[in-house]
A and B are shown apart, each in its own frame.
Chain A
Amino acid sequence: MIFREVEDRDLIAQARRGHVDAYNVLVSRWEKRVFNYLLRLVGHREDALDLSQDVFLKAYQNLRKLDDPAKFAGWLFRIAHNEAYSLLRKARPEGELVGEPKTAESSARMFPMELSLAVRGALARLSGDQREAVLLKVYQGFKFEEIAEILDCPVSTVKSRVYTALDLLKEALAPVNMGGAQ
């Protein structure tokens, strides 16, 4: 992990000097994670892809503003978070900001396994804030402090969202877990 951070830092330094190929490598490393994060936030593949492109474009344009290259991941996901919320505000000006993933029926073609359907259904029942906190913590592996910076909120708020979401997910997935345990 440390070795990779060093390499990312080198790529960022080269990209800052105008080496597009270096940035291309950086994008190839992060595009899948960013795309899946956005997909689970907005629940739409085309939107997630468009947003991913916007995220990496903005990141390149603002790369010189990144104070600490070691914090590139958090900085990149903060851009992704802002882009997703910007899209969702346009789509739902007065409603729930964070989009809900497709229901089990519609996502059956993408995730045919029963477990995956159950997980998607459980995630869909969370609030937008809780779901995003789980995405960043469980799926992206950020620390609470990093998530607080990405979401621009206190660490205590992040902890509360993640812990509450875990309780809800534990209840929602209890039948699956019991079946798997048997």
Chain B
Amino acid sequence: MSCSSIDSKLDLKAYLLGEMPQREKATLDAHVRACTNCREELERLRLTQTALLALEEEEIPQRIAFVSDKVFEPRWWQRIWHSGPAMGFASASVLALAILVHAFARPVGMPAASPVNTAQIDVSKVNQRIEQDVNARIAAAVTKAVADTEARQNQKLTKMLEAAELQRRGDLAAVQQAVRYYDQQMSRLMVASNDVVRERSGQ
């Protein structure tokens, strides 16, 4: 390294300020030992740096103590919010609670109630309304059951009457047929007896 091949002043400042890579620093060390100009320049820079560092730091006149104030502490929900596992557990708990509330607060088969202001709910009115609703539903169910039973009975009776009519018609037809057969037999018997009488009288 020579003064003509490098920007020695810049390198000397980088060297002084600790910004020079170790390998280049060794090279510059060797150069400074051999070069009077660079050695004197580096000495001037060192004196300047020493003079600057002679300016002592002042003590802070008042300790900064605001951090001890509770106001600056994160609130409980902020701590939970920034805590992954706790936030997950809290979410799961809220979900489980919502499921439980839904299961116990909403009767089976009833449609979901419209949102109401819980602050305005009167318990006695709610109970009365529920009782009326249940009674109305029971009455409707009984009426429907009776009507269904009557309908089924009527339908069964109709079928029995139809069957009896068919049976009657069948019996009547059988009697009529038997009567006709009896008449025929009687007629034949009468003819046969007349023939016998005529033969005996002809002899």
Task: Give A contacts to B, CB under 8 Å.
Answer: 16-18, 20-21, 23-24, 27-28, 31-33, 35-36, 39, 45, 49, 52-53, 56-57, 60-61, 64, 110-111, 113, 115-116, 118-120, 123, 134, 137-139, 143-144, 162-163, 166, 169-170, 173-174, 176-177, 180-181
CA distance A142 to B55 in the complex (A): 18
Most chain-A CB neighbours within 10 Å: which of B47, B59, B73?
B47
Q: In the complex, which residues 44-95 of chain B have their Cβ closer than 8 Å to any Cβ of chain A?
A: 44-45, 47-49, 51-68, 72-74, 78-79, 82
Check if A134 sits within 8 Å of B52, measured CB to CB: yes
Q: A111-B56, A143-B19, A162-B17 are in contact. List 4 more A-B contacts (CB 8 A).
A: A18-B78, A27-B64, A31-B63, A139-B57
- Does more than half of chain A's interface fall in helix, strand or loop, or is it mixed? helix
Measured between C-beta atoms, what is the minimum distance from A57 to chain B in Å?
6
Residue of B nearest to A57 (CB): B66
Measured between C-beta atoms, what is the minimum distance from B8 to chain A in Å?
12
CA distance A18 to B66 in the complex (A): 14
> Of A18, A143, A170, A180, which contacts B74 at CB under 8 A?
A18
Please list 5 pairs of residues, one from A and one from B, whose beta carbons are closer than 8 Å in the complex, sorted by A's number. Answer: A31-B63, A56-B67, A57-B72, A118-B51, A138-B52
CA distance A18 to B57 in the complex (A): 31
CA distance A178 to B17 in the complex (A): 21
CA distance A20 to B74 in the complex (A): 9
- Chain A residues near B78: list those with CB within 8 A: 18
Measured between C-beta atoms, what is the minimum distance from A45 to chain B in Å?
6
Task: Give B contacts to A, CB under 8 Å.
Answer: 9-10, 13, 17, 19, 44-45, 47-49, 51-68, 72-74, 78-79, 82
- Chain A residues near B19: list those with CB within 8 A: 143-144
Residue of B nearest to A168 (CB): B48
Check if A36 sits within 8 Å of B82, measured CB to CB: no
Measured between C-beta atoms, what is the minimum distance from A126 to chain B in Å?
11
- Chain B residues near A36: list those with CB within 8 A: 57-58
Check if A137 sits within 8 Å of B17, measured CB to CB: yes
> Of B45, B55, B82, which contacts A166 at CB under 8 A?
B45
- Chain A residues near B59: list those with CB within 8 A: 32
Measured between C-beta atoms, what is the minimum distance from B35 to chain A in Å?
18
Measured between C-beta atoms, what is the minimum distance from A114 to chain B in Å?
10
Residue of B nearest to A18 (CB): B74
Contacts A24-B67, A138-B53, A163-B10; is A39 near B58 (CB within 8 Å)?
Answer: yes
Check if A53 sits within 8 Å of B64, measured CB to CB: yes
> Of B51, B54, B57, B62, which contacts A49 at CB under 8 A?
B62
> Of B44, B58, B62, B66, which contacts A110 at CB under 8 A?
B58
Check if B10 sits within 8 Å of A32, measured CB to CB: no
Check if A60 sits within 8 Å of B72, measured CB to CB: yes
CA distance A17 to B79 in the complex (A): 7
Nearest 3 CB-CB pairings of A with B: A177-B47, A35-B60, A36-B57
- Chain B residues near A137: list those with CB within 8 A: 17
Check if A119 sits within 8 Å of B54, measured CB to CB: yes
Check if B61 sits within 8 Å of A49, measured CB to CB: yes
